[in-house]
Structure 1
Amino acid sequence: MPALLIDRPTCPATQLHSARRLIAEERLHTLFQPIVSLDCGVIYGHEALVRGPAGSPLEMPDALFAAGRAEGLSMELEIRCALQAMKDWSQLQRPGKLLINMSAAALSQATADGRWQRGLGICEDYGLQPTELMIELTEHERVADIDALRRGLTLLRRLGVGVALDDFGDGRSSLRLWSEIQPNLVKIDKYFTRELPAHAEKLQTFRALLQLAETFGAQLVAEGIEQPEELRVLRDLGVSYGQGWLLGHPSSSGASEAAPAALQVLASKEIAVMPELRRAGGSGITAEKLMMPAPAISDQASHEQLYRFFTEHEDQHAVAVINAAQQPVALIDRAQFISRWAKPFFMDLYGRRPCTLYANPSPLIVDADTGIEALTRVLTSADQRYLREGFIISRQGRYLGLGTGEQLVRSVTEARIEAARHANPLTFLPGNIPLSQHIGRLLSSGREFVAAYADLNQFKPFNDQYGYWRGDEMIRLVARVIGAHCDSQRDFVGHVGGDDFVMLFQSDDWEQRCEQIVGRFNELARNLFDAEALEAGGIMAEDREGNLRFHPCTTLSIGAVRVAPGRLHRAEDVASAAAAAKRQAKHGALAVYVMAA
């Protein structure tokens, strides 16, 4: 291994508080943690992790590099660790890539003074080829000389060495750096992996990063995988590689294959239940997207000038009045003004008076970046003049344009409908679109699953008798009971509207779960009836034909269909089969009815 220009003082082996001494005495060693292909479970490579002497104060990297910085040896220590990793790895004779951590500064220095070339030459003597190496670029926030870094990376790539970007997303890494250095791999910080199945926002981050990786021609490595369900979600998302204790612990010998628990997950046909965002329903709609360009009029204009304005702009329903600073101060409704203008003597009496005389001095003014949810509150405000006059859209207090009440009502309605397709606003459970997507993934997986359709019996009489508030409470009760008896990691629960729920089971004990759901709901639902109804066993209410008759207390029925591989091919076919099973359950007054697809 190339020697570094560092003094080699002799010292007792117990005095291991100096990075300089550890380097001089060659007391550093390397552990190797596997990186695994998530599509097949094959080892892609290993990350080299430097260690000081076991049990010493400088055993772990943080303490070791802190000592190196204190002794002014940061660069030398990094380069020594890299060369030590190559030496240790070459002795293992394992296939796959070796990933070595280096900062931009150390990498630039090592390539500039030729140490990398010398080190690679020596490693080739051990049978290690440059194409087996990959540099993980660390400490992204400290890239001071991007040109020097580019030169170093260009040299390494010419030698056949790959490049990875480490810990992307840890708050320090740079999207611009990703774009500029074009790494082969991008390692995603373990924060995004930790408890991934429970955090929809982390899932969306991974999806966005996958799109970026495709754009820049890179592949992702998810770091910090410790739980089987984290691995399952990452596999189903299409993340290329993974690293973490579930896949393999660091060791001096590396790994020939991924850990058995990880291989079991990767080989399983069971698919992950992806966490869903609770959409508020706006799809990014802002006031600016509702805006139509509309010229304004000065607050110094007269009624005569206002009349000419409306004559020239026949399609404009209103006009904003602005001051010299382009700030809106009033709004004039076209129809109201024209009605006044047409009255006898108005032109003679008021023609030269300021146009603000009969204007609305307190119109609705919203900032261009106001989201659809904030605009929704306008619909229930006490002042409803915006429905006739429209409203003013501004940015930083300056006039931009106008919006109409019709546009606002239509956009809010459409946003609510779209949101309900993704998540039911009463229970916040996934709606039709996520449900269909999950069915599609199940069909593609080639595994058997069960689609179960739950529906309430005698719910309409209950809702008519006690009102919508208690009716909503009963629907929420169904959601709570189903959620409590389903495995959130394996069983998908969707609310498709009203009192209709769909469960997609991968749990083997699905039939027992269905029976428990029905039993628990029927028990708890009685608490929503009055004492006299409980004593009578039900309520007197009108049926769908308007006839007054007795209705038993509300219960739950579930129809389930086993979906064998290859039997059904579309999400709508699965939904139709489950609905048919549900009808059989209700018509037969059965708690749970099971049929084959």
Structure 2
Amino acid sequence: MGESGYGLLDRTLMEKITERWHHGGVGVILLHVERAGSAELSALRQWMERERRLFWHYRMDHDHYFLLGRQREDVRLDRLIVQSTESLREYLRQANASGMQEGAGYAIGSSAIYPSGVGRSAESMIYGALKEAMNAVSRTLAQQAVGRSKARMETSPIEQDPIGDAFQIGALAKPIPVFDVKTRVSEVGKLFEMNERVQGAVIVNGNRPVGLIMKEKLHQLLAGPFGIALYWNRPIEKIMDDHPLIVDADTSVESVSQLATARDHAKLYDVVIIKRDERLLGAASIRSILECMTNLRTEEARTANPLTGLPGNASIVREMQRRIAEGRPFAVLYADMDFFKWFNDRFGFSQGDALIRYCASVLQEETKRLVPDGSFVGHIGGDDFIVMADDWQGEALCRAMLSRFDGGVAAFYGGAEDLNVSDRSGRRVDQEGVSLSVSLVRWDGERPVTPENLSQAAASLKKLAKGRRGSAYVSGGVFEMHRGEERNQRGASHGYETTL
């Protein structure tokens, strides 16, 4: 084995990689160990001692990064990585008598760094390889999380989904050391020396976070010829990053993930500072953010409606929560086909499925046409759909959807002439064919609201829309009384009803 490093993407590491990749590349292995006991740590040390190609090892919390240098007589790099990865797995499996399996405490990802091509810097390729390994570990952890979630559902079907809890970045906040801006660099350096697992510290002015210092960056600064002499007794504010990524606790994990991964390579692994009411709440590592995003994507794919592929109920609730947290006015459109049961009974389930897919395409295409950015279309189930968009776009969306639906639904009747429909009791209704009812609920972004409030208002307005003949929509605010409700004794429309 070579040597252990103290940082990722530092200059020494760059030099060691470029020294070795001319023999066919460098292998990257990332090991995430959630619960490492003495047996696992001993097995890891044994593997490192016997892996003769290992020349760099770096540990960050639960993550171990290994770099392997290919030698002239070795097999191809991709095979070499597979062999070394399997060897590592075998050591971990043998770490305890029960035969520890991947999924019971660890995950492994790997990638390769090949000699630089034209126009690509060493930093760029190393960054890409590390990110690929991180994504592989995230996918494994996400699969494990889904498996644990399914197991919990079998024993406790009402247990709350932990993935949904982490939709806002505040749920990922962890404690982090804090120093005042006037603290000397020497005090911060001593903390890092005494605490191996501490990777960074937040710098505050009063209670307000204003900067960040990462252990790796401090070590690099002090390692220079005059580093200690120049900085050791100076205030930490002189060398801190005074433009770190600071986000509000209510910001969505997805938004933070986009901001974090868009940072310069030099800041990619810096923690994200989380605040609430301008006070420090904690910090989240890029590792935890990417893992949460992978879990969210996996959950979205698992709960998507199989007929239309649209997001299901879990994603719908999270989208509502995200919009409410942002505090901007938005509209919820709740769409439901009228007399769909009659259509199913007369034309068959296959045509019924085709009609549901047609309705989904109408909502998707019209929403994309009128609201290309910032909209959401979900499938609640059966013939019920939901659309979310900015408040001012709601009326136009309703009119376009109803017009488009009515213009194409006739094709599903196969030329049938008698289209007089009947309700669920078999009674004739004064209408021909299937129609679409939409409720349009507006929220002003000010009065406190919950997804339950929005759903109840949408259901109430949809009943009014279904009372109209043909396709129609009815609009109103979340907390307004609508015609037919108990306290609205005169049944006035308040100008909220609109019919095509």
TM-score by length of 1: 0.36
User: Which protein shows a greater Rg?
Assistant: 1
TM-score by length of 2: 0.42
